[in-house]
Amino acid sequence: MNRIEAAFQNKKAFIPFVTGGDPDTETTEKLVLGMEEAGADIIEIGVPFSDPIAEGVVIQDASKRALANWCTADKLFGMVRRLRRKTEIPLLFMTYYNPVHTYGKERFLCECQSSGIDGLIVPDLPFEEKDELSAPCREHGLALISMIAPTSGERIAMIASGAQGFLYCVSSLGVTGVRGEISTDLGAMIRKVRSVSNIPCAVGFGVSTPEQARQTASLADGVIVGSAIVRLVAQCGKGSVEPVKNFVAQMKAAMNNK
Amino acid sequence: MQKGRFGAYGGQYIPETLMRAAQELEAAYEFYKNDGAFRGELSALLKNYAGRPSLLYYAENMSKDLGRAKIYLKREDLNHTGSHKINNVLGQVLLAKKMGKTRIIAETGAGQHGVAAATAAALLGLQCEVFMGEEDLKRQSLNVFRMRLLGAEVHSVQSGTMTLKDAVSETMREWSRRMEDTLYVLGSVMGPHPYPSMVRDFQKVIGLEIKEQLQQAEGRLPDAVVACVGGGSNAIGAFHEFIGEPSVRLVGCEAAGLGLNTPQNAAAISKGSVGVFHGMKSYFCQDEYGQIAPVYSISAGLDYPGIGPEHAWLADTGRAAYVPISDEEAVQAFAYLARTEGIIPAIESAHALAYVRKLAPSMGKEQIIVAVLSGRGDKDVAAIARYRGEDVHE
């Protein structure tokens, strides 16, 4: 069993996201370790891209701050190598296809593998274009995480049947960001997945409060939270480790409290 | 070739949320492009509303002055709203209406596409919202007012470099929030499939008319067709009819801004590399880590870091050549056409004219160059005055 599969064994996985290099890679490194300590099961690290079309303002601004501080994929590979001396928590890179393509697909995936990354989330690589990365990812032992959205409808079966690691279920229309409520029928979405696959379903986009985490965890196998954490990092910068740990602990507690 | 691909280029690199909207558009377009009623309505609009066919004008003074080839100008500047953009928006907005959409959204750089989209929406009774970078909004206040006058709502885009590429990103984000009643009316031959093919189909009327009009005037094909390229819609529109005619040279003119040896240019083919952005694989100005470069050109319409995927393919196969034209060359050509022919071209189109001035002297007396005058230059007069150090207020 690989590290991602293990994260879903007999428990609901809490999957926080931070933008790598915001405000600097040293803080990102501490955030990863802190979030693990607070109960995170898998951690998503954003490789900043100049023009992230699926992100709302919070994560757009974080990418901008990271790039302004000269964060690069190379620096993040270095950070992952340092982290791997201290932790075995599953780590995913979330980025857009251009940073992977232009760095050199093969070179990027080699670096992911050798530094200790477990998988990739590439939101602008839908099912129709996933051949760009799916076979090469498999060769490098990386899970290429597939996404389904409220608009996926009859596409769900096709996407879910070939998915690896877990299925990233986008809870709402639009881009990432904190939302007051989630109006999509997540139960129906997950039932469609279940009819073709046993792959774990993790729900993201808009989940920001312990109550939302509790409700979401009652339907899904995992909960992904990005903007709410990135907002704390924006507010507290280098001092964000403690507030983020507290937040992660609260979310995890709410998920366990059925 | 694979669907939505031009060689290795093109594709549909968009978030899953948008796939349904893109596929719905693709299905509708595939149906209506062969629908007699749709085609009839569109040609009626192009004729009675946009003023097509546009003139193919023999620029006699310019031809004599340059001393060699005969130069013809395809006068897209004479269309309603003053550029080729109207050809595409009439097609897309009519399609939106057929699809049952009640609202369109569009990006704009200088405001040409935004004004055209607002115009078509006003005519066909759809709600229109335009996304425009804060920087462009400040530079093009007249066009902003024009769009509002036409009933459109204009949103200021404050993300990224606050220019055209960010306006495209923001319009895609808005589409992913609301697609049920909304169509994204994209302004160029770029973005995810089906846009590069669909926009080309709506613009290929330019090349079809050139062929027919030149046949009447000269009884033959042109030797060269020259057009400016940002995303590349007027160029593809003009080129498409001639791709299968090997005797016709096709030349696209990219914005070299302050020069290719500076970072202040927008020459995706001359200076960029292959990447994937805004839904398509093509050439982009970017750094070694795949971060999209902040580009520059005096022409807001060419100030985009990428180029349409069909151009990328035409460049790779050598069927079309892409040449860089600097701000200075474009500004000189702008003034040259005004003095020689009494026509003030858009600064975008002046990039094509600048290349004609270089090309014509190397051609034979009987040879023919057609340059696309993609838009009129009224919008640029104040900026050109400022470039020359004169303070003119709009």
Q: Note whether residue B111 is domain-resident.
A: yes
Is the Cβ of A251 closer than 8 Å to some Cβ of chain B?
Answer: no
What is the average pLDDT value for chain A, to the nearest integer? 95
Q: For residue range B338-367, list pLDDT tens digits in order.
A: 999 999 999 999 999 999 999 999 999 999
Instruction: Record the tokens describing residue B338, joined without a space.
Output: 């005004």
CA distance B19 to B176: 9
Average pLDDT on A149-157 reads 95
The 8 Å CB, 24+ separation contacts for B380-387 are: B380/B299, B380/B334, B380/B344, B380/B346, B380/B347, B381/B344, B383/B139, B383/B298, B383/B347, B384/B331, B384/B334, B384/B335, B384/B347, B387/B298, B387/B327, B387/B331
Choose among B354, B371, B19: nearest CA to B176. B19
Is A103 close to B159, i.e. CB distance below 8 A? no
Same domain, B144 and B157: yes
Grouping H, G, I as helix, E, B as strand and the rest as coil, residue A231 is helix
**Which DSSP letter does residue B242 get?**
G
Same domain, B25 and B76: no
- Top residue of A95, A105, A151 to mutate, by most chain B CBs within 10 Å, is A151
Is B15 close to A102, i.e. CB distance below 8 A? no
Same domain, B100 and B69: no
Residue B15 pLDDT > 90, yes or no? yes
pTM (2 d.p.): 0.97
Residue B394 pLDDT > 80, yes or no? no
3-state secondary structure B193-209: CCHHHHHHHHHCHHHHH
Nearest Cβ partner of B176 from A49, A101, A174? Answer: A174
Q: How far is CA B218 from CA B74, B211, B366, B368, in A?
A: 15, 10, 10, 9
**DSSP string covering B166-235:** HHHHHHHHHHHH--SSEEE---SS-SSTTHHHHHHHHHTHHHHHHHHHHHHHHSS--SEEEEE-SS-HHH
Same domain, B174 and B235: no
Is A151 close to B17, i.e. CB distance below 8 A? yes
As a residue count, chain A comes to: 258
Q: Note whether residue B333 is domain-resident.
A: yes
Grouping H, G, I as helix, E, B as strand and the rest as coil, residue B86 is helix
CATH of residue B190: 3.40.50.1100
Residue B139 pLDDT > 90, yes or no? no
Specify the number of domains making up chain B: 2
User: Is A173 in contact with A150 (CB distance < 8 Å)?
Assistant: yes
All residues at 6 or more sequence positions from B163 whose CB lies less than 8 Å from its CB, including other chains: B109, B133, B135, B136, B294, B300, B303
Q: Note whether residue B209 is domain-resident.
A: yes
Instruction: Give the sheet arrangement for strand B103-108, strand by strand.
Output: B153-157, B127-133, B103-108, B182-184
Which residue, of B199, B220, B245, is where some domain finishes? B199
Q: Note whether residue B394 is domain-resident.
A: no
Same domain, B72 and B193: no
Q: For residue range B271-303, list pLDDT tens digits in order.
A: 999 999 999 999 999 999 999 999 999 998 899
- How many cross-chain Cβ pairs, A to B, lie less than 8 Å apart? 116
Whether residue A23 has a cis bond before it, omega within 30° of 0 = yes
Q: Element (H or E) spanning A149, and its range?
A: none
- Which of these ranges, A32-36, B10-14, B61-65, B389-393, has the smallest mean pLDDT? B389-393
Is B165 close to A155, i.e. CB distance below 8 A? no
Same domain, B258 and B362: yes
- Specify the higher pLDDT residue, A1 or A58: A58
Which residue, of B199, B219, B248, is where some domain finishes? B199
Same domain, B31 and B176: yes
Same domain, B208 and B125: no
Residue A258 pLDDT > 70, yes or no? no
Instruction: Record the tokens describing residue B188, joined without a space.
Output: 């160029």
Q: Which residues of B touch A125 (CB under 8 A)?
A: 13
User: Is B224 in contact with B361 (CB distance < 8 Å)?
Assistant: no
Q: Which residues of A touch B159 (CB under 8 A)?
A: 57, 60
pLDDT score at B1: 59
Q: How far is CA B310 from CA B12, B64, B196, B240, B320, in A?
A: 14, 35, 7, 10, 10
Residue B393 pLDDT > 80, yes or no? no
Q: For residue range B173-230, list pLDDT tens digits in order.
A: 999 999 999 999 999 999 999 999 999 999 999 999 999 999 999 999 999 999 999 9
- Per-residue burial over B174-195, b if 16 or more Cβ lie within 10 Å, else e, is bbbeebeebbbbbbbbbbbbbb
pLDDT score at A162: 87
Same domain, B114 and B221: no
Residue written as token pair 């904190």: A178
Instruction: Record the tokens describing residue A152, joined without a space.
Output: 């996926």
Report all structural domains of chain A as residue ranges with CATH numbers, in order of start.
Answer: 12-149+222-251 (3.20.20.70)
Q: Which residues of B touch A49 (CB under 8 A)?
A: 290-291
Nearest-10 crossing angle of helices B309-317, B195-203: 80
Same domain, B78 and B145: no
Q: How far is CA A78 from CA A46, A75, B206, in A?
A: 14, 5, 53
Q: Which residues of B touch A176 (CB under 8 A)?
A: none
Which of B70, B85, B97, B165 is an active site residue?
A: B85
Is B153 annotated in the active site? no
Q: Note whether residue B31 is domain-resident.
A: yes
Residues 102-131 of A with CB under 8 A from B: 102-103, 123-129
Judged by phi (left if over 0) then psi (alpha if -120 to 50, else beta), residue B195 lies in: alpha
Q: Note whether residue B393 is domain-resident.
A: no
Chain B residues near any Cβ of chain A (below 8 Å): 11-21, 159-160, 165-166, 169, 172-173, 176-179, 273-279, 284, 286, 288-292
User: Is B295 in contact with B301 (CB distance < 8 Å)?
Assistant: no
Judged by phi (left if over 0) then psi (alpha if -120 to 50, else beta), residue B248 lies in: beta
Q: How far is CA A186 from CA A159, A170, A171, A218, A220, in A?
A: 16, 9, 7, 10, 8
Choose among B366, B268, B338: nearest CA to B77. B338
CA distance A16 to B65: 68
Q: For residue range B244-269, list pLDDT tens digits in order.
A: 999 999 999 999 999 999 999 999 99
Grouping H, G, I as helix, E, B as strand and the rest as coil, residue B305 is coil
Residue B2 pLDDT > 80, yes or no? no
In chain A, which residue's Cα lies nearest the Cα of B282? A98
User: Is B248 in contact with B269 (CB distance < 8 Å)?
Assistant: no
Same domain, B185 and B210: no
Task: ipTM value, please give it.
Answer: 0.96
Distance of CA B368 to the CA centre of its chain: 23
CA distance A152 to B214: 49
Q: Which residues of A touch B286 (CB under 8 A)?
A: 98, 102
Instruction: Give the sheet arrangement for strand B273-277, strand by strand.
Output: B5-6, B9-13, B279-284, B273-277
Q: For residue range A209-240, list pLDDT tens digits in order.
A: 999 999 999 999 999 999 999 999 999 999 99
Same domain, B144 and B29: yes
Average pLDDT on B309-326 reads 98
Q: How far is CA B125 from CA B46, B50, B101, B267, in A?
A: 17, 17, 11, 38
Instruction: Record the tokens describing residue B141, joined without a space.
Output: 């206040």
CA distance B14 to B175: 12
Range list of H helices, chain B:
16-32, 36-48, 60-66, 85-98, 112-124, 134-139, 141-149, 164-177, 195-203, 205-218, 233-239, 268-271, 309-317, 327-341, 347-359, 381-387
Angstroms from B344 CA to nearest CA on chain A: 36
- Top residue of B16, B105, B158, B176 to mutate, by most chain A CBs within 10 Å, is B16
Which residue, of B167, B199, B231, is where some domain finishes? B199
Which of B26, B107, B135, B209 is an active site residue?
A: B107
Is B310 annotated in the active site? no
Range of the domain at B121: 6-46+85-199
**A52, A58, A59, A63: CA torsion to nearest 10:** 90
Q: Which residues of B touch A53 (CB under 8 A)?
A: 14-15, 169, 172-173, 278
Angstroms from B53 CA to nearest CA on chain A: 38
Looking at the DSSP bridge assignments, the partners of residue A18 are: A45
Is B107 annotated in the active site? yes
**Which DSSP letter does residue A177 get?**
S
Q: For residue range B43-76, list pLDDT tens digits in order.
A: 999 999 999 999 999 999 999 999 999 999 999 9
